[in-house]
Structure 1
Amino acid sequence: MAAGLLAAGVRVVAVAEAGNGLGLARHPLMAMAKTGEAAGYAATLARRRVPYLTRHAVTAAHGRDEGSVIGVTLARIDRDWNVLSARDLECDTVAVGYGFVPQLDLATQLGCPTREDLDGTPVVDVDAAQLTGVPGVWAAGEPTGVGGWQLAETEGRVAGFAIIAHAQRTGAPVPGLLLRRRARLRRFAAALQRAYPVRPGWKGWLREDTLVCRCEEVPLSRVREAQALGATDARSIKLLARPGMGWCQGRMCGFAVACLAGENPQPPRRPIAQPITLAALATPENPQNP
């Protein structure tokens, strides 16, 4: 992202990585696949004299009002993300990312079973042909585990071959080349998850007024109050303090609330889609118009 911003003319103050920068050192063959790309980014940052700070993280953003940023608190952290020291840095925009949470709403509404990914996130469980536990429903890409666009495309191709074989009742196998490519990309995705985990020390960055749920404007203090009243899981915290009861229905804050409750996130339960027949779609809104 930083390289893209620089190319667009943005002044980048710093790039901070919570890890040590050597996350894939235990997987040298996989790291080599990304060496050229990483070297290009590093050269761009060095050429523009942008500091690349490992074992650093943004622990707070500061602004005059809700719609502006004037700076951040940049902390030096240890292996478990506990703060060792901190300093303020002036900036007017902050880009923060700690991975991705897959969207499972449609799959779980159809009844597809899930499993826990390496980081505890629920993902759709599929077999070797990308078939879910519901007959006639295949899944591919991020719902089955976040691994990048190449893995998503490959899983989609595998599912496509499987669907055609099922529809034609041929039983034709999926090409071995695709299966081997999928296996390689899945290994790389798993290596990335192991190399760059979210460490528990982030909970120590929070203040009582830290917003946990933006939709309902629920600060950490209300979550703590709910726990003091006896809430022991994310669902009971939601009922007492209302995080996850706003527009997004917990799609933004659900992961954090589950972590604060000391449990892994659960699959979504609230339906978001309603079946509609092709006949209804084909019927004109005004029958008098052709």
Structure 2
Amino acid sequence: MSGLLALLDDVAAIAKLAAASVDDIAGMAAKAGSKTAGVVIDDAAVTPNYVHGFAARRELPIIWKITKGSLFNKLVILLPAALALNAFAPWLVTPLLMLGGLYLSFEGAEKVFHRLFPHRDPHVEKDLAVGDPAHLEETRVRGAIKTDFILSAEIMTIALSALPAAGLAMEAAALAVVAVGITAAVYGSVALIVKMDDIGLYLAANARTAAGVALGRGLVKGMPRLMALLSTVGTAAMLWVGGSILTHGLEVLGWPLPYGTFHHLATAGAGAAPERLAAFAGWAIGALLNGLFGLAVGLAMIPVGTRLVGPALAAFGRRAD
């Protein structure tokens, strides 16, 4: 009997340890995932564009294909790469983060530039001119997964940099939770967004109450504005996150001037604001300054990106296909 009780005590201790490990993994994943918020917003804002122009019945299948590609990117390619990087070359984390920051700043600045100075994009026009819907769908999905790979790499690198040292297994589990959770949140939100107008049409035609009909009509009318808002929020998030990554990276690499200046101005602004608004004021000033820094860097990168990097990546993609 005493042996059985001892065994039960051991089982209970193991169960408590396992529960504590699960709590630790969840806590680590939540902390790491919160650092990726800006990139996640951008990912959710960009993805609906890839189903634009397709029949309604193809929207969810396309999103599901992109979702599976995103999970493959994160879990099969990027998670092992991030762990290996952290184990064998941790000094590369900051430079890789900064490369991602340059990419985000470039993408955000290019969108701002395009909005201020509209111009034709031959790559987009060529894509839309494809006559075969199945081929167009395949092309769009491949393009979305390639874009997702870059954003996912940034998400996983940011998450890894936010994790405390906790052993390989715990870090892998936390990164896996971040990968699955963020992918589900992003593409679940995208699926809801792209089907919102269909939901509105259904309610407008079939709702049994005036309130339901009004809600349906409001959804249909409001979706273009929501998409425009998402585009603006995504662009702002890219510039803010890109600029933040660059200023923090420069500080780590020995040039603390931008980060220190922005931090000082944000702290001064928080001190001048009413007490209940101090935290928000400090965050808003810091985000604005980092966003402007990201915009300036991104605008400077546009000639390099459009004339050198873009054609090189396009040529590489053609060879890979």
Q: Place the TM-score, normalised by the shorter chain, in its bin.
A: under 0.3
- Higher RCO (CA-CA < 8 Å; seq separation 6+): 2
Please report the TM-score for the alignment, with normalisation by the length of structure 2. 0.25
TM-score normalised by structure 1 residue count: 0.27
Which structure shows the higher helix fraction?
A: 2
